[in-house]
Structure 1
Amino acid sequence: MPVKIRLQRHGSKKRPFYFIVVADARSPRDGKFIQKLGTYNPLTVPATIQLDRQKALDWLHKGAQPTDTVRKILSFKGVLYLKHLLRGVKLGLFDETAAMEKFQAWHSEHETQIKKKQEEHARDRRVRRAPIRNGGGE
C-alpha cells in the first residue's frame, strides 16, 4: 500500500486551513486518512505550522512519501534535517548526542529568524496602518 504524507484541506472558500495527514495514496484528498500529524495555516505571516516531529520522522522512516508542499513544510520544521542527521548516526559518522547538538543549534538559529520575520511583518503593518499626518504649511 503506497502511503503519502499530504495536506487535507479544511476551511471555507478563500480561507484555506490544512491538516497534515498520512493517507493511502489512492484515497481522495479530503477522504480517509491513517494519522493526523499536524496543521498548516498559510494565511498568517509566516505561515503557522503545528507538527508532531516524532510522528513525521517515524512515518518517513517507514517509507511514506511526502508531497512537494509537505516536503517543504517538513524541511522548514527541520524533520528532513533530523532524518539526515540520524542517517549519519546509523552510518557511524558521529554519535547521537552530536547529532542532537547540531539539530538544537540549527533549531535555535531557525527560531530567531522566524521571530525576526514576525517582528518585521508587524512593524510593516503598523507603518501601513498609521494615519498620514500633514506636516502643515501647504
Structure 2
Amino acid sequence: MAVKLRLQRKGRKGAPFYHIVVADARAPRDGRFIEKIGTYNPLTVPATIEINRDKAYDWLAKGAQPTDTVRAILRFKGVLLKKHLERGVKKGALTPEQAEAQLAQWIEQKEARIAARREATAENKRKFVAAVDGTAKVKAKPAPPVEEAPAVEEVAEAEEAVVETVAAEPVAEVAAEVVEAVAEETAPAAEEATPAAEEEKSEEA
C-alpha cells in the first residue's frame, strides 16, 4: 500500500486550516487517514506549524512519500535534517550523540529566528493599530523663538515715562503756588506805594 504524508483541509471558506496526516495514496484528499502527525495554519505570520518530528521521521523511514507542501514543512521543522543525520550515523560518520547535538542546535537557532520574526510582526501590528486609531505620536513643530529683549526695553521705557510724568506734576503745582504767593505779596506793596505818591504830589502843590 502506497502511503503519503499530506495535508487535510479544515476550517471554513476563506480561512483554511490543515491537518498533517498519514493517509493511503488512493484515499480522497479529505477522506480517511491512518494517523494525524501535526497541524499547519498558513494564516498567521509566520505560519504556525505543529508536528511530531519522531512520528514524521518514522513514517519517512518506512517509505512514506510527502507531498511538495509537506516536504517543505518537514524541511522547515528539521525532520529531513534528522533523516540526513541518521543516515550519517548508520554510515559511521557521526555518533548518535553528535547527531542529536547538531539537530538540537539547529532547532534552537530556527526557533529563535521564528520568535524574532513573530515579535517583529507583532510590533508592526501595534504600530499600525496606533496609527489607525489616532493615538500615534505626531512630531511637534518647533516653536518660533520668543523675542524677550524688546519687550523688556519697552517696559523700561514705559516705566521711565510714568516716573517723569509723576515727577513733573508736583513740580508744576509748586511753581504755580510760588507764582500766586509772589503776586499776592506784590499787590499790597503797590497799593501802599500809590497813596504815598499822591501825598507827595499834594505837598508840592
TM exceeds 0.5?
Answer: yes
Q: Which has the higher strand share?
A: 1
Measure, in 2, the Cα distance between the counterparts of 1:136 and 1:97. 60
- 1:41 corresponds in structure 2 to 41
- 2:150 corresponds in structure 1 to none
- Deviation by residue 1:46-67 (Cα, 9 ceiling, x = unmatched): 1111111111000000000000
Matching of residue 60 in structure 1 with residue 60 in structure 2: yes
Structure 2's unaligned 5+ residue stretches are: 142-205
Please state how far the C-alpha of 1:35 moved relative to its aligned partner.
Answer: 0.7
- When Rg is computed on C-alpha atoms for both structures, the one with the higher figure is 2
- 1:15 corresponds in structure 2 to 15
Alignment TM-score, normalising by the size of structure 1: 0.95
- Relative distance call for 1:134 and 1:113 in structure 2 (3 A) is closer
Please state how far the C-alpha of 1:127 moved relative to its aligned partner.
Answer: 1.1
- 1:92 corresponds in structure 2 to 92
Higher normalized contact order (CA 8 Å, seq sep 6+, divided by chain length): 1
- Relative distance call for 1:113 and 1:135 in structure 2 (3 A) is closer
Measure, in 2, the Cα distance between the counterparts of 1:115 and 1:9. 26
Paired letter, 2:84: H
Q: Secondary structure at the match of 2:72?
A: helix
Alignment TM-score, normalising by the size of structure 2: 0.64
- 1:82 corresponds in structure 2 to 82
Paired residue total:
137
Q: Which has the higher helix share?
A: 2
Structure 1's unaligned 5+ residue stretches are: none
- How large is the RMSD of aligned CA atoms in angstroms? 1.2
